[in-house]
Amino acid sequence: MTGFDTRAIHAGQDPDPATGDVVVPLHLATTFKQDGVGGLRDGYEYARSGNPTRTALQELLASLEEGVAGLAFASGLAAEDTLLRTVCEPGSHVVLGGDAYGGTFRLISRVLSRWGVEHTPVDLTDPDALRAAIRPGSTRVVWCETPTNPLLTVVDIALTAEVAHETGALLAVDNTFASPYLQRPLTLGADVVVHSTTKYLGGHSDVVGGALVVRDAGLAEQLAYHQNAMGAVSGPLSDWLVVRGIKTLGVRMDRHGANAARIAEYLAAHPAVSRVLYPGLPDHPGHDVAAEQMSGFGGMLSFRLAAGEEAALRVCERARLFTLAESLGGVESLIEHPHRMTHASAAGSPLEVPADLVRLSVGIEDADDLLADLEQALA
């Protein structure tokens, strides 16, 4: 197998046989001419069922995550919904990490619950708690993020997969924060990898998309059927933008991680900050696991303000280079208040996040400029 950066630039992206294009063409057609009834060219008939630009992205994703197949969707939540409705049915049960993305919690607790799917939040760093939460025969999925959003909890993927598989449950890992450059869950025992391609894979805050990558051909076939039947597929322009973004994923992640490490060290020594949540810090509870299963610690970090929620809000409002906005993973640095923004839907639930928490998506700007911005915001 070739190296990661080589695959990021070449996998699924052979030069176009007709023109020699070295960039994947943007195929906007919604339908494709058939050579006689049922005589499809390369399997394409209708763009919901398949599109050559989407095929390129899906092959690229499968290569990067070292899976047998990748599938691209209109958003990360569309990918999650398709996965859950493929493997669950009324009466099924999902174990959800106790520190999960608010949109995932909303989908499972408020949408799928009306369809008869139950869920149990649990601390996935505790394998005994996970075993206790699993309901043999009805738990279909253990849903894991690592590192988590927004508390940066690190979960041991190999151990979690072992526990899930004891009773036949699938392990799905949301790999959005790490990206396949830093972590490949399928190689550690996970069954499905989930991505919001909006984030690091796209990398430029100009596309919304999602993806699933699997290691079992049978599950891939089921998911592909539901991808077509349910229809929440990605569009060709989105596919093209994600392919373009992935070409520079490796070099971007190196800069994201280097900048985040400097900022984490700065915040850890700041008197206004009570705690920094970043797996790269030696005192982080998941540091050793992260060092074992990741090749770097990423560009996401959160911190808590000693003076409480109002101080956290002031930092968000005073930042200038760190743009106050939701989402993450773009080249520009972002700051947000999870309790009132991305995780507001988890308020009052076991997944509620602290009100004094600030989350940073550290971009690729000059680190000295980012540190100066935080210094004036914290003053």
pLDDT at 38: 82
Which uninterrupted H or E stretch holds 371?
helix 367-378
Q: Which sequence positions are flagged as catalytic?
A: 48, 101, 174, 199
Residue that is written with structure tokens 């009324």 in the block: 90
pLDDT at 72: 99
Domains of the chain: 4-244 (3.40.640.10), 249-378 (3.90.1150.10)
Report which residue type is found at 98. Answer: G
pLDDT tens over the chain, length 379 residues: 899 999 999 999 999 888 999 999 999 999 999 998 888 888 899 999 999 999 999 999 999 999 999 999 999 999 999 999 999 999 999 999 988 898 999 999 999 999 999 999 999 999 999 999 999 999 999 999 999 999 999 999 999 999 999 999 999 999 999 999 999 999 999 999 999 999 999 999 999 999 999 999 999 999 999 999 999 999 999 999 999 999 999 999 999 999 999 999 999 999 999 999 999 999 999 999 999 999 999 999 999 999 999 999 999 999 999 999 999 999 999 999 999 998 888 888 888 999 999 999 999 999 999 999 999 999 9
Q: Which pair of tokens denotes residue 324?
A: 């106050």
Phi, psi torsion values for 122, nearest 5 degrees? -155, 155
Q: In this structure, is the dihedral angle defined by the CA atoms of residues 59, 60, 63 and 68, taken in order, positive or negative?
A: negative
User: Which residue, among 62, 16, 369, 73, has the nearest Cα to 232 in the 3D structure?
Assistant: 73
Q: Exposed (0-12), middle (13-18) or buried (19+): which is 209, by Cβ within 10 Å?
A: buried
Tally Cβ neighbours within 10 Å of residue 30.
10
pLDDT at 338: 95
Cα–Cα–Cα angle for 339, 209, 68, nearest 5°? 115
Report which residue type is found at 105. Answer: F
How far is residue 9's CA from residue 6's CA, in Å, rounded to a whole number?
5
Is residue 211 within 8 Å of residue 197, measured between CB atoms? yes
Is residue 214 within 8 Å of residue 245, measured between CB atoms? no
pLDDT at 277: 98
Cis peptide before 147 (omega within 30 of 0): yes
Across-strand partners of 334?
323, 361
pLDDT at 276: 98
Is residue 294 within 8 Å of residue 178, measured between CB atoms? yes
pLDDT at 161: 98
